[in-house]
Amino acid sequence: MDGNGRWAQQQGLPRIEGHRRGVQSVRRATEECSRLGIEQLTLYCLSSENWKRPPQELDFLMHLLEQYMIEERATIVRQNLQVAVIGRRSGIAPDALAEMDRTVELSRTNTGLRLCLAINYGGRAEIADAVRQIAGEVQAGRLAADQIDENTIDKHLYTVGMPDPDLLIRTAGERRISNFLLWQISYAEIWVTEQCWPDFDERLLHEALRDYAARKRRFGGLPRC
């Protein structure tokens, strides 16, 4: 969800106002994906590299996360959304962590759209954590080294049990992966818009989906006649 700070600067506002406005885009995208019957929406909320930002901005992001989990809880339950969180828990403010856990637990049995929030997430860290767990199982004798395959790695990622993304949307004109779901997006289609995240609305979402639907996905093979 790129461009919150840039959007705010373009409007002559503090960067935190861009993050506040970005929450509205989260709400719009989530509700529209749910209405369309999309199985899962994964949002990159806070990367492991974002801790380099000014302390005041990080404090605001933690407050915004806590506030979102409280204020959106009733809507999440009413719309039958299932909330999941991926990333490392260390560093997240305790109050935000508690509210996050409560929302995840309350929505666990919901059967609608899975809203997956990547918080304190990094793709390389995820793979490193998976390798560490697998190495521990080999060391303990529960797994032989020659049994390790792609499925083994899949089962040790944060996203275990979740589908690989079909479409990766990047806002604010960004044309890089930025350490996001490095293993999972191997065959994802990428769509880029110059619009910053606070301006991302239903119209842009539908534009991305129409473009995706028009593509021919071959997964390394040849197109069918």
120 labelled catalytic: no
Q: Which of 49, 58, 1, 40 is nearest to 198 (CA)?
A: 1
216: left (phi over 0), alpha (psi -120 to 50) or beta: beta
184: left (phi over 0), alpha (psi -120 to 50) or beta: alpha
**Which token pair is 117?**
């929030």
154 labelled catalytic: no
Residue 222 is classified by DSSP as P
Q: Choose the catalytic residue: 50, 95, 110, 179.
A: 50
CB count in 10 Å sphere of residue 193: 20
Residues with catalytic function: 2, 50
